[in-house]
Amino acid sequence: MRVGLFVTCLVDLMRPRIGFAAIELLEAAGCEVVVPATQTCCGQPAWNSGDRASAAKLAKKVIAEFEGFAYVVAPSGSCADHIRNGYPGILADEPAWLARATALSSRVFELTDFLVNVAKLETLPGNFSGSVTYHDSCAGLRSLGIKAQPRALLAKLPQVSLKEMNAAEECCGFGGTFSVKFGDISAAIAEKKCNNAVATEADAIVGGDLGCLLNIEGKLRRMGDETTQVLHIAEVLTAK
Amino acid sequence: MESRSHRFKENAAAALANPVLQASMKKAKGKFVDKRAIAIKEIDDFEGTREAAKQLRDRVLENLDLWLEKFESNATARGATVLWAKDGEEICRHVAEIGKRHGIKKAVKSKSMLSEEAGLNQALEANGIQPVETDLGEYILQINNNEPPSHIIAPVVHKSLDEVADLFEKVHKTPRKTEIPALTREAREVLRTHFLTADMGISGGNFLVAETGSVALVTNEGNGRMVTTLPRVHVVITGIEKVIPTLEDLSTLMRLLPRSATGQSISNYVSVLTGTKAADELDGPEHLYYILVDNGRADVIGSEFQEMLRCIRCGACMNHCPVYQAIGGHAYGWVYPGPMGSVLTPLYTGLENAIDLPHAATLCNQCGVVCPVKIPLPDLLRKLREKQTDRNLRPWLERAALKAWAFVAASPTLYALGVWFGVRYLKWLAGGKASIPVLSVAPEWTRGRDFPAPEGRTFRELYAQRKQP
């Protein structure tokens, strides 16, 4: 199974180890992983800012780079949702591109969804030990139905205990450019998320989208919590 | 009502710094969100009912003019007068004329958001008619110098018990009471006199039933019944989009509205009012007027925002919105707060007058998930952002930054260079620490939180290295 890894711009810039962890997991599931070197960003910031022209330009770039693969996997529900469900709408007025976007759409997956439901990964390469609480990121949860998949994977780690937080499904306040346009509101929402997460006394807050995790980690550290780890699910599943 | 939506950021900052508001919002969230979650489980097929409600609202909007004419002819046949208002000013003019015709001195009002859109109370006073709000929340706001409501169904949700106790003591000139039943009784005593002496009742309308020419009112306090049956003149003010074809449709929507709004299986009162008092009837008004209002709605018909007119004003979108929960309703600056307000305010008051609202959402889609008529609110917010871009309404710096970023992101070489520098700059800012406390390129981010430091090199660099033997 030949899989194209969409690394995501945040992982590229901020946390390369998540990209390598995703590769390790996909290879453990028996996939041949290819990382197209020309990839940049899925274009969601442009689309959500109301810049359709830029969003369309970047959508076409991603389609051309990834349509040759059997599957496309991203360690982010938000980016996967944008490619899967956003592109056909963005390119609705260009029939040839719409056809290509639609053809790609059903083959695009968020990492945990792919590992559980397509690749059916049985044995994890990692052996993380500790308690975790899982934050359900919005796009993954509400657009792609990512809820049971990361928990099913965590359950395969014998030394991991999952402590669910209150309101795990509520937004952390990140919202892409929202976090820098309305920083005060964004930080106030993040504070509620952090309080709910910290109340579980878990060793680590885990999620599937780096944007949310940077927001949560940034707020947590500002609140003076230097010990609670904030990790991407791929990091937990591959931790040695 | 004059819009303060253009000052959203200042309004929001004040809200975040207001401890009374913050405490009230926290309390309200539990009430609305948890109760709704329980109430919707009572329906065997909640999702199917949502879909049915969506479809019936869409059917009406497809032929809105025909359903309105049907409503008009059936309401007229039952003795009502149907008037049309283009905007808030025309609402006020109609009501003033009705007041003059019937020699009205006092009007008791049950909740009507349209009257907020029109600023009706000030117009009534200017025409020598004393308006008295009788919904408890609206009454509290009226005696507090006509403060605007902060929620469409819970107008004083932002207020604390202490604030209301102080207000009643000051305005009613009675000993301060701190028990809710005692405060409520005091308001009832004041309002009872007004109910008995008013000669006009003004209400909103949750739905207009075309086949019978009726208005349906969904209330909890009973004031709606008094307002619509005691005075000799009843004026219903509602938006043109509120019409539905049949009573059967009303029952479908009534399965959803109270559950979505307050988490009640059904509200304490549901009234379906038809026509004037007949010769053999004891209750009801002698004169019944419907003022059906456009105020921006007709322009939305046939546009890419038509789905917004499905809205049945339950407030679930705001109750579940993380942004609304953080800042309350006043920050949005006009009649309708939360996600529905962020769509309606620019549509009804002008895109350029509410520049921040379509962006004041994380697009988490919790609103879309709970909306009983399946309005894709995040999509509509995003479309409004696109309209702003098309009309160059966003700040030039934001537009320039976005264009520059998109240009770079379209070129793998430039992009690789950009992130190469970017990651090193961030790493340098962190100075060996795990977090960056002040980020000058994104000051809004670091005002309330740190920015985590990057690992130090980009994925593309490390991957290219790893591939080489």
- CA nearest B380: which of B298, B277, B285, B306? B306
Per-residue pLDDT of chain A (240 residues; tens, 9 = 90+): 999 999 999 999 999 999 999 999 999 999 999 999 999 999 999 999 999 999 999 999 999 999 999 999 999 999 999 999 999 999 999 999 999 999 999 999 999 999 999 999 999 999 999 999 999 999 999 999 999 999 999 999 999 999 999 999 999 999 999 999 999 999 999 999 999 999 999 999 999 999 999 999 999 999 999 999 999 999 999 999
What is the three-state SS of chain B? CCCCHHHHHHHHHHHHCCHHHHHHHHHHHHHHHHHHHHHHHHCCCHHHHHHHHHHHHHHHHHCHHHHHHHHHHHHHHCCEEEEEECCHHHHHHHHHHHHHHCCCCEEEECCCHHHHHHCHHHHHHHCCCEEEECCHHHHHHHHCCCCCCCCCCCCCCCCCHHHHHHHHHHHHCCCCCCCHHHHHHHHHHHHHHHHHHCCEEEECCCEEECCCCEEEEEECCCHHHHHHHCCCEEEEEEEHHHEECCHHHHHHHHHHHHHHHCCCCCCCEEEEEECCCCCCCCCCCCEEEEEEECCCHHHHCCCCCHHHHHCCCCCHHHHCCHHHHHHCCHHHCCCCCHHHHHHHHHHHHCHHHCCCHHHCCCCCCHHHHHCCCCCCHHHHHHHHHHHHHHCCCCCHHHHHHHHHHHHHHCCHHHHHHHHHHHHHHHHHHHCCCCEECCCCCCHHHHHHCCEECCCCCCHHHHHHHHHCC
pLDDT digits (tens, 9 = 90+) for B53-97: 999 999 999 999 999 999 999 999 999 999 999 999 999 999 999
User: A81: domain range?
Assistant: 2-118
Judge if A54 and A137 occupy the same domain: no
A199, two tokens: 């109340």
Of A93, A118, A143, which closes a domain? A118
Rg (CA), chain A: 17
Predicted pLDDT of residue B469: 62
- B452, β-bridge pairs: B435
Judge if A13 and A89 occupy the same domain: yes
| Strand B106-109 relative to strand A229-232, pairing | unpaired
Judge if A92 and A190 occupy the same domain: no
- Cβ contact, residue pair A183, B361, below 8 Å: no
Judge if A184 and A231 occupy the same domain: yes
Domain-embedded: residue A85: yes
Domain-embedded: residue A124: no
Question: At A152, which amino acid appears?
Answer: A
- Cβ contact, residue pair A40, B415, below 8 Å: yes
- Cβ contact, residue pair B369, A180, below 8 Å: no
Chain A / chain B CB contacts < 8 angstroms? 204
- Cβ contact, residue pair A15, B369, below 8 Å: no
ipTM of the complex: 0.97
- Cβ contact, residue pair B449, A20, below 8 Å: no
Q: How far apart are CA B152 and CA B329, in angstroms?
A: 9
Judge if A138 and A232 occupy the same domain: yes
- CA nearest B13: which of B323, B331, B324? B331
Residues in A closer than 8 angstroms to B325, CB to CB, are: 189
pLDDT digits (tens, 9 = 90+) for B368-418: 999 999 999 999 999 999 999 999 999 999 999 999 999 999 999 999 999
Predicted pLDDT of residue B244: 98
- Cβ contact, residue pair A180, B362, below 8 Å: no
Domain-embedded: residue A224: yes
Residues in B closer than 8 angstroms to A17, CB to CB, are: 455
Interface test with A, best of B449, B461, B465, B468 (most A CBs within 10 A): B449
- B217, β-bridge pairs: B271
- Cβ contact, residue pair A189, B12, below 8 Å: no
* Cβ atoms within 10 Å, residue A27: 13
CB-nearest partner of B455 from A17, A41, A214: A17
Q: How far apart are CA B193 and CA B9, in angstroms?
A: 42
- Domains in chain B, start-ordered, CATH in brackets? 48-298 (3.40.50.10420), 399-467 (no CATH)
- Cβ contact, residue pair B382, A54, below 8 Å: no
Question: At B110, which amino acid appears?
Answer: S
Q: Which residues of chain B have pLDDT under 50?
A: none
Residues in B closer than 8 angstroms to A76, CB to CB, are: none
- Cβ contact, residue pair A189, B419, below 8 Å: no
Judge if A112 and A13 occupy the same domain: yes
Judge if A91 and A47 occupy the same domain: yes
Judge if A105 and A207 occupy the same domain: no
DSSP characters for chain A?
-EEEE---HHHHHT-HHHHHHHHHHHHHTTPEEE--TT----SHHHHHTT-HHHHHHHHHHHHHHHTTSSEEEES-HHHHHIIIIIHHHHTTT-HHHHHHHHHHHTTEEEHHHIIIIIS---S-S----EEEEEE--HHHHHHH--SHHHHHHHTT-TTEEE-PPTTTTS--S-TTTHHHHSHHHHHHHHHHHHHHHHTTT-SEEEES-HHHHHHHHHHHHHTT--SSEEEEHHHHHH--
A158, two tokens: 């014998």
Of A118, A138, A169, which closes a domain? A118
CB-nearest partner of A143 from B365, B412, B463: B365
Judge if A142 and A43 occupy the same domain: no
Q: How far apart are CA B162 and CA B174, in angstroms?
A: 15
Minimal CA separation from B415 to chain A, in Å: 7
Judge if A18 and A52 occupy the same domain: yes
- Cβ contact, residue pair B448, A188, below 8 Å: yes
Question: At B335, which amino acid appears?
Answer: V
Q: How many domains does chain A contain in total?
A: 2
CB-nearest partner of B452 from A57, A187, A217: A217
Judge if A38 and A72 occupy the same domain: yes
Of A54, A84, A118, which closes a domain? A118
Minimal CA separation from A43 to chain B, in Å: 8
CATH number of the domain residue A142 falls in: 3.40.50
Predicted pLDDT of residue B466: 87
Domain-embedded: residue A65: yes
Q: How far apart are CA B71 and CA B84, in angstroms?
A: 13
Judge if A30 and A102 occupy the same domain: yes
Domain-embedded: residue A16: yes
Minimal CA separation from A99 to chain B, in Å: 21
Question: At B132, which amino acid appears?
Answer: V
Domain-embedded: residue A15: yes
Domain-embedded: residue A10: yes
Domain-embedded: residue A125: no
Q: How far apart are CA B370 and CA B365, in angstroms?
A: 9
CB-nearest partner of B452 from A17, A170, A214: A214
* Cβ atoms within 10 Å, residue B16: 18
Q: How far apart are CA B464 and CA B466, in angstroms?
A: 6
Q: How far apart are CA B55 and CA B48, in angstroms?
A: 11
Q: How far apart are CA A172 and CA A71, in angstroms?
A: 29
Buried b / exposed e over B89-115, threshold 16 CB at 10 Å, is ebbbbbbbebbeeeebebbbbbbbbbb
Predicted pLDDT of residue B467: 72
Q: How far apart are CA B395 and CA B309, in angstroms?
A: 29
